[in-house]
Amino acid sequence: MPTYLGAGFAIDLPDDAIDASVYAFAFPQGRPFTPTLVIRSERHGTPRPLADYVDGQVALLKGATPGFEVLRRRAGRWHDRAALDLLVESGEPGARLRQRLVYVDGAGQPQHLWCLTATDTADSFESNEALFNRAILSFVPRAVPAAGV
């Protein structure tokens, strides 16, 4: 049983455990809403084009989130890996959230994906965009074992 070393903890896990870590960082700004950056790791058994995966995620969000709309979608490369960068908004008038979602394909078999999500109110997003961009641009994907931790 390998030992996984996390941020401030260690845990023994079975050999076939999959690291599906979620990291959440808050940026206190003295407002009622706290801007956040969440980094999520996902694995999928059958590799598929990143655009197909993101299209599926967008369809799920449109179906489950009131007022969801894609404001911008850009395909590109991130440290030599396929990436998609979306800017989205959702919510009711007067309580809308804006998010930048950056999907990065970690490649491999099974497929490993990263999703970075910066969230703030729609009204305040631009004032924190430089902070979000600095953090997101510093993200460097590292190799993750295909099975186990």
State which residues form the domain around 102. 19-137
Task: Give the β-pairing of 9-12 and 97-107.
Answer: unpaired
- Cα–Cα distance, 112 to 81 (Å, whole number): 11
Report if residue 12 sits inside a domain: no
Q: Is the pLDDT of residue 147 over 80?
A: no
| pTM of this structure | 0.86
Number of domains observed in the structure of the chain: 1
Taking a C-beta distance cutoff of 8 angstroms, is the pair 96, 87 a contact?
Answer: no
Report if residue 63 sits inside a domain: yes
pLDDT digits (tens, 9 = 90+) for 106-137: 866 557 889 999 999 999 999 999 999 999 99
Report if residue 144 sits inside a domain: no
H helices present in 42-118, as ranges = 50-64
Task: Calculate the CA 104 to chain-centre distance.
Answer: 8
Taking a C-beta distance cutoff of 8 angstroms, is the pair 105, 79 a contact?
Answer: no
Report if residue 13 sits inside a domain: no
Report if residue 110 sits inside a domain: yes
The CATH number given to whatever domain includes residue 61 is 3.40.1000.10
Report if residue 111 sits inside a domain: yes
Report if residue 121 sits inside a domain: yes
Report if residue 3 sits inside a domain: no
pLDDT digits (tens, 9 = 90+) for 15-68: 888 778 899 999 877 678 899 999 998 887 777 889 999 999 999 999 999 999
User: Cis (ω within 30 of 0) for the bond into 110?
Assistant: yes
